Amino acid sequence: MIIDMHTHINNRWDHVQRKMKPFTVKGLIRIMDSLGIEKFVLLPVGTSPETRFFYMGTEEILKMYRKYPDRVIPFCNVDPRAGSNSDKTDFSWILEHYRKQGCRGLGELTANLYIDDPMYMNLFRHCGKIGFPVVVHLYGRFGGSYGTVDELHLPRFERVLAECPDTVFIGHAYAFWSEISGAVTEETRIAYVKGKIPSPGRICELLKKYPNLYGDISAGSGYHALASDPVFGASFLEQFQDKLLFGTDTCHYEGSHGDILVFLNESLGKGLISEKAYTKITEKNGRKLLKL
Protein backbone atom coordinates (compact mmCIF):
# COMPACT_ATOMS: atom_id res chain seq x y z
CA MET A 1 0.00 0.00 0.00
CA ILE A 2 1.39 3.41 -0.98
CA ILE A 3 0.77 6.40 1.29
CA ASP A 4 1.10 9.88 -0.22
CA MET A 5 2.30 12.19 2.56
CA HIS A 6 1.63 15.48 0.76
CA THR A 7 -1.52 16.50 -1.17
CA HIS A 8 -3.90 19.47 -1.33
CA ILE A 9 -7.29 20.41 -2.67
CA ASN A 10 -8.05 23.93 -3.95
CA ASN A 11 -11.46 25.20 -4.82
CA ARG A 12 -11.50 28.93 -4.19
CA TRP A 13 -10.01 32.20 -5.41
CA ASP A 14 -6.68 30.83 -6.61
CA HIS A 15 -8.46 29.06 -9.42
CA VAL A 16 -10.60 32.06 -10.32
CA GLN A 17 -7.48 34.22 -10.60
CA ARG A 18 -5.47 31.64 -12.59
CA LYS A 19 -8.46 30.41 -14.64
CA MET A 20 -7.98 26.85 -13.42
CA LYS A 21 -10.64 24.27 -12.72
CA PRO A 22 -11.33 23.89 -8.99
CA PHE A 23 -9.46 20.87 -7.67
CA THR A 24 -11.80 18.78 -5.54
CA VAL A 25 -11.22 15.75 -3.37
CA LYS A 26 -12.99 13.62 -5.98
CA GLY A 27 -10.46 14.78 -8.56
CA LEU A 28 -7.63 14.07 -6.16
CA ILE A 29 -8.94 10.55 -5.52
CA ARG A 30 -9.08 9.89 -9.28
CA ILE A 31 -5.40 10.86 -9.58
CA MET A 32 -4.46 8.79 -6.53
CA ASP A 33 -6.28 5.80 -8.04
CA SER A 34 -4.41 6.22 -11.33
CA LEU A 35 -1.10 6.12 -9.44
CA GLY A 36 -2.04 3.18 -7.24
CA ILE A 37 -2.01 5.26 -4.04
CA GLU A 38 -4.39 4.02 -1.36
CA LYS A 39 -4.16 6.70 1.34
CA PHE A 40 -3.06 10.33 1.23
CA VAL A 41 -2.31 13.09 3.71
CA LEU A 42 -4.48 16.13 2.99
CA LEU A 43 -2.82 19.39 4.05
CA PRO A 44 -4.70 22.66 4.66
CA VAL A 45 -3.43 25.67 2.71
CA GLY A 46 -3.97 29.41 2.79
CA THR A 47 -3.80 29.73 6.58
CA SER A 48 -1.00 32.31 6.22
CA PRO A 49 -1.49 35.54 4.25
CA GLU A 50 1.68 34.94 2.20
CA THR A 51 -0.09 32.21 0.24
CA ARG A 52 -2.30 32.88 -2.79
CA PHE A 53 -5.87 34.11 -2.71
CA PHE A 54 -7.59 31.01 -1.46
CA TYR A 55 -8.26 29.33 1.83
CA MET A 56 -8.69 25.64 2.53
CA GLY A 57 -8.78 25.38 6.29
CA THR A 58 -8.62 22.51 8.72
CA GLU A 59 -12.39 22.29 9.11
CA GLU A 60 -12.80 21.70 5.38
CA ILE A 61 -10.06 19.07 5.43
CA LEU A 62 -11.84 17.31 8.29
CA LYS A 63 -15.07 17.42 6.32
CA MET A 64 -13.33 15.55 3.49
CA TYR A 65 -11.88 13.09 6.02
CA ARG A 66 -15.33 12.30 7.39
CA LYS A 67 -16.57 11.76 3.83
CA TYR A 68 -13.64 9.54 2.79
CA PRO A 69 -12.18 8.12 6.01
CA ASP A 70 -10.53 5.18 4.24
CA ARG A 71 -8.55 7.47 1.92
CA VAL A 72 -7.91 10.82 3.63
CA ILE A 73 -5.37 11.33 6.43
CA PRO A 74 -6.08 14.84 7.75
CA PHE A 75 -3.52 17.36 8.97
CA CYS A 76 -4.39 20.64 10.64
CA ASN A 77 -2.73 24.02 10.17
CA VAL A 78 -2.25 27.06 12.41
CA ASP A 79 -0.29 30.21 11.63
CA PRO A 80 2.34 30.82 14.37
CA ARG A 81 1.08 34.42 14.62
CA ALA A 82 -2.50 33.32 15.28
CA GLY A 83 -4.22 33.89 18.59
CA SER A 84 -2.30 36.88 19.89
CA ASN A 85 0.73 37.35 17.58
CA SER A 86 2.91 36.34 20.50
CA ASP A 87 5.48 33.71 21.39
CA LYS A 88 3.37 33.01 24.48
CA THR A 89 0.19 31.99 22.62
CA ASP A 90 -1.38 28.81 24.00
CA PHE A 91 -1.95 26.50 21.02
CA SER A 92 -2.56 23.42 23.15
CA TRP A 93 -6.35 23.64 23.20
CA ILE A 94 -6.80 23.99 19.43
CA LEU A 95 -4.22 21.31 18.60
CA GLU A 96 -5.91 18.95 21.05
CA HIS A 97 -9.28 19.74 19.47
CA TYR A 98 -7.94 18.89 16.02
CA ARG A 99 -6.25 15.74 17.32
CA LYS A 100 -9.56 14.50 18.71
CA GLN A 101 -11.20 15.21 15.34
CA GLY A 102 -8.70 12.88 13.64
CA CYS A 103 -5.75 15.07 12.61
CA ARG A 104 -2.35 13.33 12.56
CA GLY A 105 0.00 16.29 12.17
CA LEU A 106 0.36 19.97 11.30
CA GLY A 107 1.32 21.74 8.10
CA GLU A 108 2.41 22.67 5.76
CA LEU A 109 3.71 25.79 7.47
CA THR A 110 4.21 28.71 5.08
CA ALA A 111 4.39 31.88 7.22
CA ASN A 112 7.30 33.96 5.85
CA LEU A 113 9.19 34.23 9.14
CA TYR A 114 12.59 32.93 10.20
CA ILE A 115 12.13 29.26 11.04
CA ASP A 116 13.56 29.93 14.51
CA ASP A 117 11.36 32.97 15.12
CA PRO A 118 10.10 32.79 18.73
CA MET A 119 6.51 32.42 17.51
CA TYR A 120 7.46 29.45 15.33
CA MET A 121 9.44 27.92 18.20
CA ASN A 122 6.42 28.25 20.46
CA LEU A 123 4.18 26.48 17.95
CA PHE A 124 6.79 23.76 17.35
CA ARG A 125 7.04 22.99 21.06
CA HIS A 126 3.26 22.72 21.33
CA CYS A 127 3.28 20.25 18.42
CA GLY A 128 5.96 18.20 20.17
CA LYS A 129 3.88 17.98 23.33
CA ILE A 130 0.82 16.72 21.48
CA GLY A 131 2.79 14.40 19.18
CA PHE A 132 2.15 16.16 15.85
CA PRO A 133 4.84 15.94 13.16
CA VAL A 134 5.24 19.27 11.35
CA VAL A 135 5.61 19.80 7.59
CA VAL A 136 7.70 22.92 6.94
CA HIS A 137 7.95 24.64 3.56
CA LEU A 138 11.45 26.11 3.38
CA TYR A 139 11.65 29.00 0.94
CA GLY A 140 14.80 30.84 2.03
CA ARG A 141 13.95 34.52 1.55
CA PHE A 142 11.63 37.23 2.79
CA GLY A 143 9.06 38.42 0.27
CA GLY A 144 8.23 37.22 -3.19
CA SER A 145 6.68 33.95 -2.06
CA TYR A 146 5.63 31.97 0.99
CA GLY A 147 7.57 29.70 3.31
CA THR A 148 9.81 29.62 6.35
CA VAL A 149 13.13 31.45 6.03
CA ASP A 150 16.69 30.31 6.71
CA GLU A 151 20.17 31.14 5.47
CA LEU A 152 22.40 29.02 3.26
CA HIS A 153 23.17 25.63 4.84
CA LEU A 154 20.18 25.89 7.22
CA PRO A 155 21.80 27.08 10.49
CA ARG A 156 18.46 28.21 11.91
CA PHE A 157 16.76 24.93 11.05
CA GLU A 158 19.51 23.09 12.89
CA ARG A 159 18.88 25.25 15.93
CA VAL A 160 15.18 24.33 15.75
CA LEU A 161 15.98 20.62 15.48
CA ALA A 162 18.32 20.80 18.46
CA GLU A 163 16.05 22.89 20.69
CA CYS A 164 12.80 21.04 19.86
CA PRO A 165 13.91 17.38 20.12
CA ASP A 166 10.39 16.19 20.93
CA THR A 167 8.99 17.59 17.67
CA VAL A 168 9.32 15.69 14.40
CA PHE A 169 10.02 17.96 11.41
CA ILE A 170 9.35 17.04 7.78
CA GLY A 171 11.49 19.15 5.44
CA HIS A 172 10.01 20.23 2.11
CA ALA A 173 10.52 22.64 -0.80
CA TYR A 174 13.37 24.48 -2.54
CA ALA A 175 15.54 25.70 0.32
CA PHE A 176 15.45 22.27 1.93
CA TRP A 177 16.12 20.07 -1.09
CA SER A 178 18.73 22.33 -2.68
CA GLU A 179 20.87 21.43 0.35
CA ILE A 180 21.17 17.83 -0.88
CA SER A 181 24.18 19.12 -2.83
CA GLY A 182 27.43 20.36 -1.36
CA ALA A 183 27.66 22.76 -4.32
CA VAL A 184 24.52 24.75 -3.42
CA THR A 185 24.89 28.55 -3.57
CA GLU A 186 22.78 31.59 -2.72
CA GLU A 187 21.69 31.69 -6.36
CA THR A 188 20.69 28.02 -6.60
CA ARG A 189 19.13 27.46 -3.19
CA ILE A 190 15.63 28.58 -4.19
CA ALA A 191 15.52 26.69 -7.49
CA TYR A 192 15.32 23.08 -8.60
CA VAL A 193 18.53 21.09 -8.33
CA LYS A 194 20.15 20.58 -11.75
CA GLY A 195 22.88 18.23 -12.96
CA LYS A 196 25.39 16.10 -11.13
CA ILE A 197 25.80 16.38 -7.36
CA PRO A 198 29.55 16.55 -6.67
CA SER A 199 29.30 15.95 -2.92
CA PRO A 200 26.66 15.36 -0.24
CA GLY A 201 25.09 18.53 1.13
CA ARG A 202 23.87 19.86 4.43
CA ILE A 203 20.65 17.85 4.68
CA CYS A 204 22.67 14.63 4.50
CA GLU A 205 24.45 15.75 7.65
CA LEU A 206 21.24 16.87 9.36
CA LEU A 207 19.38 13.64 8.54
CA LYS A 208 22.22 11.66 10.12
CA LYS A 209 22.51 13.87 13.18
CA TYR A 210 18.90 14.54 14.18
CA PRO A 211 16.42 11.70 14.74
CA ASN A 212 13.56 14.21 14.60
CA LEU A 213 14.19 15.20 10.95
CA TYR A 214 12.54 13.56 7.96
CA GLY A 215 12.55 14.49 4.27
CA ASP A 216 9.40 14.87 2.16
CA ILE A 217 10.41 13.93 -1.40
CA SER A 218 7.30 15.42 -3.02
CA ALA A 219 6.94 18.19 -5.61
CA GLY A 220 9.43 19.31 -8.22
CA SER A 221 11.88 20.21 -5.47
CA GLY A 222 12.09 16.65 -4.15
CA TYR A 223 11.94 15.03 -7.57
CA HIS A 224 14.71 17.13 -9.13
CA ALA A 225 16.93 16.76 -6.06
CA LEU A 226 16.88 13.00 -6.62
CA ALA A 227 16.46 12.61 -10.37
CA SER A 228 18.96 15.25 -11.53
CA ASP A 229 21.73 12.79 -10.60
CA PRO A 230 19.97 9.38 -10.63
CA VAL A 231 22.86 7.37 -9.22
CA PHE A 232 23.44 9.81 -6.35
CA GLY A 233 19.67 10.11 -5.85
CA ALA A 234 19.20 6.36 -5.57
CA SER A 235 22.15 6.12 -3.18
CA PHE A 236 20.55 8.86 -1.06
CA LEU A 237 17.25 6.96 -0.99
CA GLU A 238 18.99 3.79 0.11
CA GLN A 239 21.13 5.51 2.74
CA PHE A 240 18.27 7.47 4.30
CA GLN A 241 15.51 4.93 3.74
CA ASP A 242 14.34 5.30 7.37
CA LYS A 243 14.06 9.11 7.14
CA LEU A 244 12.26 9.74 3.83
CA LEU A 245 8.56 10.05 3.03
CA PHE A 246 6.91 9.62 -0.36
CA GLY A 247 4.59 12.37 -1.56
CA THR A 248 3.40 13.98 -4.78
CA ASP A 249 2.23 17.47 -3.71
CA THR A 250 -0.72 16.99 -6.04
CA CYS A 251 -2.81 20.17 -5.93
CA HIS A 252 -4.34 20.63 -9.42
CA TYR A 253 -5.33 18.68 -12.51
CA GLU A 254 -2.66 20.09 -14.81
CA GLY A 255 0.84 18.65 -15.18
CA SER A 256 2.43 15.38 -14.20
CA HIS A 257 1.66 13.99 -10.76
CA GLY A 258 3.67 10.79 -10.60
CA ASP A 259 7.23 11.79 -11.57
CA ILE A 260 8.70 10.90 -8.19
CA LEU A 261 6.89 7.55 -8.19
CA VAL A 262 8.28 6.81 -11.68
CA PHE A 263 11.77 7.59 -10.38
CA LEU A 264 11.30 5.28 -7.40
CA ASN A 265 9.98 2.49 -9.60
CA GLU A 266 12.82 2.88 -12.10
CA SER A 267 15.41 2.91 -9.32
CA LEU A 268 13.90 -0.26 -7.91
CA GLY A 269 13.71 -1.92 -11.32
CA LYS A 270 17.37 -1.16 -12.04
CA GLY A 271 18.44 -2.53 -8.68
CA LEU A 272 19.65 0.90 -7.48
CA ILE A 273 17.44 0.73 -4.39
CA SER A 274 16.24 -2.28 -2.44
CA GLU A 275 12.67 -3.48 -2.07
CA LYS A 276 13.08 -2.81 1.64
CA ALA A 277 13.97 0.85 1.05
CA TYR A 278 11.16 1.26 -1.48
CA THR A 279 8.55 -0.09 0.94
CA LYS A 280 9.78 2.04 3.82
CA ILE A 281 9.71 5.25 1.77
CA THR A 282 6.35 4.64 0.11
CA GLU A 283 4.49 3.25 3.10
CA LYS A 284 6.14 2.06 6.30
CA ASN A 285 7.82 5.30 7.39
CA GLY A 286 4.60 7.25 7.00
CA ARG A 287 2.57 4.59 8.76
CA LYS A 288 5.01 4.55 11.67
CA LEU A 289 5.30 8.33 11.93
CA LEU A 290 1.54 8.88 11.85
CA LYS A 291 0.78 5.86 14.05
CA LEU A 292 -1.62 4.38 11.51
The 10s digit of each residue's pLDDT in 129-163 is 999 999 999 998 898 889 999 999 999 999 999 99
For residue 213, the model assigns a pLDDT of 98
Task: Give the DSSP per-residue string, the chain.
Answer: -EEEEEE--B-SHHHHHTT---B-HHHHHHHHHHHTEEEEEE--B--STTS-S--B-HHHHHHHHHHSTTTEEE-B---TTTTTSSTT---HHHHHHHHHHT---EEEE--SSBTT-HHHHHHHHHHHHHT--EEEEB--SSSSS-SBB--TT-HHHHHHHHH-TTS-EEEESHHHHGGGBTT--TTTTTS---S---SB-HHHHHHHH-TTEEEE--HHHHHHHHHSSHHHHHHHHHHTTTSEE----B-SSSS-S-HHHHHHHHHHHTTSS-HHHHHIIIIIHHHHHTT-
Kindly indicate the confidence band of residue 56, based on its pLDDT and cuts at 50, 70 and 90.
confident
Is 2-289 CATH 3.20.20.140? yes
What are the φ and ψ backbone dihedral angles of 186, each rounded to 5 degrees?
A: -60, -35
**Mean pLDDT, the chain, whole residue set:** 94
Residue pair 18/258 in contact by the 8 Å Cβ criterion: no
Kindly indicate the confidence band of residue 103, based on its pLDDT and cuts at 50, 70 and 90.
very high
Q: Is the pTM of this model over 0.85?
A: yes
Measured over all CA atoms, what is the biggest interatomic distance in the chain, rounded to whole angstroms? 53
Single-letter code of the amino acid located at 236: F
Q: Give the tens place of pLDDT for each residue, 85-102.
A: 999 999 999 999 999 999
Q: What angle separates helix 92-101 from helix 58-67, to the nearest 10 degrees?
A: 20
Residue 14 has pLDDT above 90, yes or no: no
For residue 51, the model assigns a pLDDT of 79
Kindly give, in sequence order, each residue whose CB lies less than 8 Å from that of residue 5, ignoring residues fewer than 6 positions away. Answer: 40, 41, 170, 216, 218, 245, 246, 247, 286
Residue 61 has pLDDT above 80, yes or no: yes
Query: Mean pLDDT across the stretch 256-263?
Result: 92
For residue 46, the model assigns a pLDDT of 74
Strand partners, 114: 149
Kindly indicate the confidence band of residue 193, based on its pLDDT and cuts at 50, 70 and 90.
very high
Kindly give, in sequence order, each residue whose CB lies less than 8 Å from that of residue 214, ignoring residues fewer than 6 positions away. Answer: 133, 168, 169, 170, 171, 243, 244, 245, 285, 289
For residue 195, the model assigns a pLDDT of 93
Q: Give the tens place of pLDDT for each residue, 200-252.
A: 999 999 999 999 999 999 999 999 999 999 999 999 999 999 999 999 999 88
Q: Which of 142, 156, 206 is nearest to 177 (CA)?
A: 206
Task: Give CA–CA dist 225/172, Å, rounded.
Answer: 11
